[in-house]
Every structure is written in structure tokens, then in C-alpha cells.
């Protein structure tokens, strides 16, 4: 079983954001220059990962309740991973909303 490292996940997200910020223009709505992932695709990927972790935690909890498994440790670990992932996505969303509001306050 793999361990979930919050610091490594945060560094991965920061590196993705830096690489996206380095590309100043995009070829189309969903593609970025130099073959890098677009901001939309990166966020979509993280949202899918978060959703998969939530579904995995729900499934493992259901198995525990039904009696299909008795490994409480794995269930709690799956739930903790899903919780950390969800909290991270909420914070990313909050930062994006904050940045949007800041741009909207700018005078042209």
C-alpha cells in the first residue's frame, strides 16, 4: 500500500502551476504551447483524482459496514486520503476565487 505524502502532493501542484504560468499563450481553448497541460486539464485531473479518492473511501467504508473486510486501518487511511485531497481542492478553489475577485477589482 502506498503512503500519501501531503507535502509531495502540494509540491506537485505548485510545480504544475509554475509550468502552466510559464506558458504565456495557448494554441486553443484546451491546449497549451510546448505540449504542456493546460490549466483546465490540470485542474480537471486533480478533481478526478479527488473524486476517485472519495469514491474509494466510500467503497471501503461500505465494505467495512457490510463485514466484507475487518481492516479498519485501511478504511481510515482511505478516508484520511480523501479528506486531505478534498481539503486541498477546496483551498485551491478558494485561491482561484480570490484571484478572480482581485482581477475583477482591477481598474482598466
Total structural domains in the chain? 1
Kindly tell me if the per-residue pLDDT of 31 is higher than 70.
Answer: no
pLDDT of amino acid 34: 57
Q: Is residue 11 part of a domain?
A: yes
Query: 75, 77, 81: which is closest to 59 by C-alpha?
Result: 75
Rank 2-11, 17-26, 30-39, 71-80 by mean pLDDT and report only the highest. 71-80
Q: Is residue 1 part of a domain?
A: no
Q: Is residue 55 part of a domain?
A: yes
Q: Is residue 16 part of a domain?
A: yes
Q: If pLDDT is split at 50, 70 and 90, which confidence band does 13 have?
A: confident
Q: Is residue 27 part of a domain?
A: no
pLDDT of amino acid 26: 47
Tell me which residue range forms the domain holding 82. 6-22+32-105
pLDDT in tens, 36-49: 678 888 888 889 99
Q: Is residue 72 part of a domain?
A: yes
Amino acid at each position: 500500500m502506498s503512503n500519501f505524502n501531503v507535502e509531495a502532493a502540494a509540491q506537485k501542484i505548485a510545480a504544475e502551476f509554475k509550468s502552466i504560468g510559464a506558458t504565456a499563450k495557448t494554441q486553443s481553448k484546451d491546449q497549451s504551447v510546448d505540449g504542456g497541460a493546460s490549466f483546465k486539464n490540470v485542474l480537471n485531473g486533480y478533481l478526478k483524482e479527488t473524486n476517485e479518492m472519495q469514491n474509494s473511501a466510500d467503497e471501503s467504508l461500505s465494505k467495512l459496514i457490510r463485514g466484507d473486510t475487518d481492516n479498519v486501518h485501511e478504511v481510515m487511511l482511505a478516508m484520511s486520503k480523501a479528506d486531505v485531497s478534498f481539503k486541498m481542492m477546496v483551498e485551491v478553489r478558494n485561491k482561484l476565487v480570490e484571484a478572480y475577485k482581485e482581477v475583477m477589482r482591477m481598474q482598466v
